[in-house]
Structure 1
Amino acid sequence: MVTAVLGLDTRPQAMPHFRIRQQRSHSISMRATVAEPVVYTPPQVAAAYDFPQNVDCSGQCIGIIELGGGYSDENIGEYFASLGMAPPTLVAVAVDGGANQPTGDPNGPDGEVELDIEVAGAVAPGAKLAVYFAPNTDAGFLNALTTAIHDSTNKPEVISISWGGPENTWSQASIQAMNRALQDAAALGVTVCVAAGDSGSTDGENDGLYHVDFPASSPYALACGGTRLVVENGQIASEIVWNDGSQGGSTGEA
């Protein structure tokens, strides 16, 4: 029985969900004092959430789905050296002709790819990271996901996805195919974490309606939103929904 025909539409299906921190202007008033946001490293955030410390995750694998860009071994090495940590073991998996192809632009897809690797590798030291590169189409996205779920070589137990798009821009056939794949993952005990977007309740659409981001909105995925975190003495002092207001970024919905 044919349930979906994908691959005929080659338009980009998803976008990376990350933001470059903007420097605040200090020229508003000579008397105004504007505090710069504090930057926490992944281990500091993990410690605030009481993640287990000094755990060796060797033998575990985290799958990461990427639909463009790539990573540089040199950049990854420099980042982990700054944390005093050994870089993770990285495996680039090509899907449908995708490949690790860094553009050299940290504001583009490369920024998403390296951010995903840095966070996952820092909070799960010793884990192998399998990065699945696929074309940014509905078919490429689906095939990257199914390849990761059923990868008998790397066997990821957790899959991280930081790409997505407004649910209304997906065809019903694509949504159903992705949901079936995510349902398979749940049945196999593979947790799939998906970013809920960074454009607020409209998900970047301009029709005046509310929109959720897919595949974060799938009932078979674990949607991950953003918060503004304040840590004092290693403990969470406050945490509210991320909303930069004038900066144009806020956590999405799923």
Structure 2
Amino acid sequence: MITELRTFLVAGQLENFAATAERVGLTQSAISAQIRRLEHDFGYALFERTGRSVKLSRAGVVAMEQAKEIIARYERMRDIARNEAVKGNLEIGMAVAGHASLLASAMEEFLKVFSEVHFSVAVDKEQSLLARLDEGALDMAIMARPAAHLMQNLEWRLLQVQPYVLAVPEGSAPLPWRQVLQTYPLIRYASRSFIADKIDAFLKSQSLTVHDIAQTEEISLILDMVAKETGVAIIPFSTAFNGQEKVRFISIPEFLEKKEVGVVMTRKKKSIAVKKFLDFLTDFSR
């Protein structure tokens, strides 16, 4: 089954069985047979077929994401015999603007496999985290992409791209986003972080004058205030918000910039624990 899932991932990416066969080193008929076996086992079509062309079905798109997770877990299972060598302390930094849900999910699964690792998580401003990385006091820091160039001894790896949306009370009137900002007071998000300038620049580019009532870097506080109808907020959307009660999210098509969330690390040789945890972070960011 793992072999078929690997083939499915390639086929889903290329949406071409001939190209898939060339990529994985099998015949096209073998590729088709593997996909058919999966479809027979799952009970639904992974691809829509029109003549010789194939395209992922709606179910196939969902299955792709789950297949990635299964393969990732399978790869981690292969390392179980070597897990005892993964131990020690991991010093992780996290920006106050929050990425707690992503970090917590990765840590939970990581510790199930690598129980000899101890985490120490520091919550601080981005500039302070960068300074601590430069000093060697942190192994990695999760934050928005820094606006300025990183020091030569630091490197950046992207984890997620988050669009900016407007968070409004669930029961508010269904108004266009521009009218919402002119009707409701604004709760400013991340006033001292790298993303604050992006939100300010967008509001100015749209010639919008808003009524600020508060500013905070705590995303959970913002969502609570919105839910209690205190105001509205422009925030980068995370999948962790799915199912958020009493809050509705409105897209802002004109806000073209997106928040890039990633990891900053030193370029020096990394420990096995750091490399393994980075794999987990990457898996949970998909």
TM-score normalised by L of structure 2: 0.31
Larger Rg: 2
More strand by share: 2
More helix by share: 2
